[in-house]
Structure 1
């Protein structure tokens, strides 16, 4: 299945990944939701992300690794 150019949900993104990567991404998703149940799912930079007042966590799946990206701030 070819990847769409734009994802509209976490599920769209995760189901576009290989069968090996999908459970890992779902585990990351579940861990964030368990730790911060008030966080809301969103897509930002075409990756799954979570937001409270603003996006605080992005994650992405690749063939050989998982990327976890905190947002860049000016005081970082």
Structure 2
């Protein structure tokens, strides 16, 4: 397996149905985290601030995932559930048909950034 060099390469290598969702998620995360550096870590695209990956995303066989620091997930657990999603300690999975609402993605990203700085 070839290592993924950057976000563009990761999205291009994803299954076609997931590419628009991944591109949209990347755009939202970039807007919420303008000071973050785009990196690839653990074979996933992520956003790093002061050495900490504060947000990342991935595509799998049947779904995509958004990954954040645990404090962001716990802080917004009510909003995540209200939007109809289930979360693990550090992630939320979704399909191209049921994307995480834009505002929630941005709130989660900012909360993850703030959690890293705390």
In structure 2, runs of 5+ residues without a counterpart are: 72-88, 90-118
- Work out the CA distance in 1 between the residues paired with 2:33 and 2:19: 21
- Work out the CA distance in 1 between the residues paired with 2:2 and 2:67: 20
Q: 1:55 aligns with which of 38, 43, 53?
A: 53
Q: Does 1:14 align with 2:14?
A: no
The offset of 1:15, in angstroms, is: 0.1
Q: CA 1:26 to 1:71, structure 2 compared with 1: closer, same or farther past 3 Å? A: same
The offset of 1:72, in angstroms, is: 6.3
Question: Where is the helix percentage greater, Structure 1 or Structure 2?
Answer: 2
What TM-score do you get using the length of structure 2 for normalisation? Answer: 0.54
User: May I ask how many residue pairs the two structures share in their alignment?
Assistant: 71
RMSD: 1.9
In structure 1, runs of 5+ residues without a counterpart are: none
Alignment correspondent of 1:23:
20
* Deviant stretches of 4+, over 3 Å: none
Alignment correspondent of 2:2:
5
Contact 1:21 1:63 (C-alpha < 8 Å) held by counterparts: no
Alignment correspondent of 2:38:
41
The offset of 1:7, in angstroms, is: 0.5
- Work out the CA distance in 2 between the residues paired with 1:36 and 1:72: 17
- Work out the CA distance in 2 between the residues paired with 1:18 and 1:25: 10
